[in-house]
Amino acid sequence: MVHNGVMGRMHTPDSSGQTLLPTGATGAAACLIIGVGNRGRGDDALGPALIEQLQALELAGVELLEVFQLQVEHCLDLQGRRQVVFADASLQGTAPYAFEPLRPAARVGALSHALAPAQLLALYRQLYGEPPPAHVLAMRGYDFTPGAALSDAARRHLHAAVDFLVHWLAPDRLAG
């Protein structure tokens, strides 16, 4: 299932016209992959592009969420998950990507319109208790110019990241 979270929790219809809503804690897919980024800024679109590619694969037990930025409301999307992956572009990261475990920040800090993944996990902990295990998938990008398309190098990194996630998301990892 894919839903787009722009400005919080706005959801858009899929190709059949059905509106896709988050499942929340009840009936939540085992794994949530959140693709963060701006489709209008070149390689910053790596997170949304990853979501688009994974959607075509129809992976069982996986829910996909595309967001422009992480917000407080995304704590609700983490409920009932066994795994969460935050996928985003990285200007200075390892090529083609880095995949690292993520821990909640030591403290939430000042809240604004955008949160880092570790801040979101810290807020989840504060509100609901221990967050689900999480990872960051940081795909190396190079050109973040407004209006630019994905660079060729970023596109190669995207394909490598998709291949990695498909293997990492083996059914036994998502089983209870």
Residue 26 per-residue DSSP state: T
pLDDT at 17: 34
* pTM score: 0.83
Summarize pLDDT for 30-71 with one digit per residue, the tens.
Answer: 999 999 999 999 999 999 999 999 999 999 999 999 999 999
Domains in the chain (CATH in brackets) are 2-6+28-169 (3.40.50.1450)
Summarize pLDDT for 101-137 with one digit per residue, the tens.
Answer: 999 998 776 666 689 999 999 999 999 999 999 999 9
| 169 Cβ neighbours under 8 A, 6+ residues apart | 31, 59, 61, 62
Whole-angstrom Cα distance, residue 95 to residue 6? 28
> Which residue type occupies 162?
V
